[in-house]
């Protein structure tokens, strides 16, 4: 039987190439070999995005983007998180079983606060909602970056605690991390993230993408200087798109000198344009027919609720909430 795989993406800004290589490309591959559950995590976005019209627009935009990039509602479960209210109820139930110490050890909360994001209860309890997303769908595999691995481990701990206390209700999930794309660098060398403002958009204007790529931060070495490709953000991004032969070729040019950062950026830009142009064309057609996107999301929510309602009913019975 196919493994059940779950992943979500927040509608908190323009999709970028870190999203594509870190998650979306893998999801498109997963839907061919697995039982894929893919959702727009708008409840998670509410921790930082608190503008109603903007949330609505970004949710539909994220759905359109994912469909353009290859998500196929005929091959996977595809929905918006807030259209499945069972997840919110399960979050509360699991929160009542979750030790405070477990939440306090979450790295992502501390990292976000350190980056200047204003703290709130939702941001603090984010892992509990993520746990509910995972467990309510009886997910077996959860593809994540290294920074999210702890959250899947927390979901495992909570599921085991619940099962030990109330009986075997939840599947125990496993994280899936592909090491070579676990952390995609942004234009400043940090992890590419909308929160850090260091992203390269997939569907932005060509002029914006060009300006962003040409603005990637480098050291001060000149054209003829020898360079270490493994310490360069441009090369780290280029090798995501390139063939093995192209990777070796650019790495050799770095090491022997003679390749300036400007030319390396142009090579990266060409790869970005070549890879995403077909997706941009598909997206333009979807954008011209928003009703089609809305219908897909509505049907997706109906489909997944057959599963979430079943899981939640088991939880209610096990906990005595169904009396």
Q: What is the pLDDT of residue 181?
A: 63
Average per-residue pLDDT for the chain = 94
How many whole angstroms separate alpha carbon 59 and alpha carbon 246? 37
Q: What is the mean pLDDT of residues 86-100?
A: 97
Sign, CA torsion 64/213/118/97:
positive
Residue 34 reports pLDDT greater than 70: yes
Please tell me which residue in 112, 227, 239, 271 is annotated as part of the active site. 112
Q: What pLDDT score does 36 carry? A: 97
- 112 as an active site residue: the answer is yes
Q: Of 161, 191, 239, 265, which is the active-site residue? A: 191
Percent of the residues in the chain that have a pLDDT greater than 90, as a whole number? 84
**pTM listed for this prediction:** 0.87
User: Own/partner pairs for 116-119, CB < 8 Å, 24+ apart?
Assistant: 117/48, 117/195
CA 175 – CA 198 distance, rounded (Å): 26
Q: What is the mean pLDDT of residues 19-45?
A: 93
Q: Can 191 be counted among the known catalytic residues?
A: yes
pLDDT at 82 over 80: yes
**Residues with Cβ within 8 Å of residue 197, at least 6 apart in sequence:** none
Domains defined for the chain, CATH in brackets:
4-183+290-319 (3.40.50.620), 204-284 (1.10.240.10)
Set 146, 194, 221, 226: catalytic member: 194
* pLDDT score, position 180: 61
**Distance separating alpha carbons of residues 39 and 308, to the nearest angstrom:** 13
Task: Over range 227-232, report the average pLDDT.
Answer: 96
Indicate whether 182 pLDDT > 70. Answer: no
- pLDDT confidence bin for 30, thresholds 50/70/90: very high
């Amino acid at each position: 039987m196919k493994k059940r795989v779950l992943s979500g993406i927040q509608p908190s800004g323009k999709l970028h190439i870190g999203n594509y290589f870190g998650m979306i490309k893998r999801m498109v591959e997963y839907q061919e070999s697995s039982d894929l559950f893919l959702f727009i995590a708008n409840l998670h976005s509410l921790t930082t995005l608190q503008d109603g019209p903007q949330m609505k627009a970004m949710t539909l935009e994220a759905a359109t983007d994912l469909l353009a990039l290859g998500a196929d509602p005929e091959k996977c479960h595809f929905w918006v998180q807030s259209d499945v209210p069972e997840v919110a109820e399960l979050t509360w139930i699991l929160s009542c079983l979750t030790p405070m110490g477990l939440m306090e050890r979450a790295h992502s909360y501390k990292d976000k606060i350190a980056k200047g994001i204003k703290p709130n209860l939702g941001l603090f309890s984010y892992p509990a909602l993520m746990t509910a997303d995972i467990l309510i769908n009886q997910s077996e595999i959860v593809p994540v970056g290294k920074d999210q691995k702890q959250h899947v481990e927390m979901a495992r701990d909570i599921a085991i605690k619940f099962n030990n206390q109330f009986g075997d209700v939840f599947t125990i999930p496993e994280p899936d991390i592909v090491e070579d794309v676990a952390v995609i660098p942004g234009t400043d060398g940090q992890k590419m993230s909308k929160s850090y403002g260091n992203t390269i958009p997939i569907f932005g204007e060509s002029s914006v993408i060009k300006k962003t790529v040409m603005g990637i931060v480098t050291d001060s070495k000149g054209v003829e200087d020898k360079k270490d490709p493994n310490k360069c953000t441009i090369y780290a991004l280029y090798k995501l798109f390139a063939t093995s032969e192209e990777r070796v070729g650019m790495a050799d040019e770095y090491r022997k000198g003679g390749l300036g950062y400007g030319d390396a950026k142009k090579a990266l830009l060409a790869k970005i344009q070549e890879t995403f142009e077909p997706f941009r064309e598909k997206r333009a057609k979807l954008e011209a027919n928003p009703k089609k996107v809305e219908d897909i999301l509505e049907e997706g929510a109906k489909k997944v609720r057959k599963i979430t309602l079943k899981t939640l009913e088991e939880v209610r019975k096990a906990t005595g909430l169904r009396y």
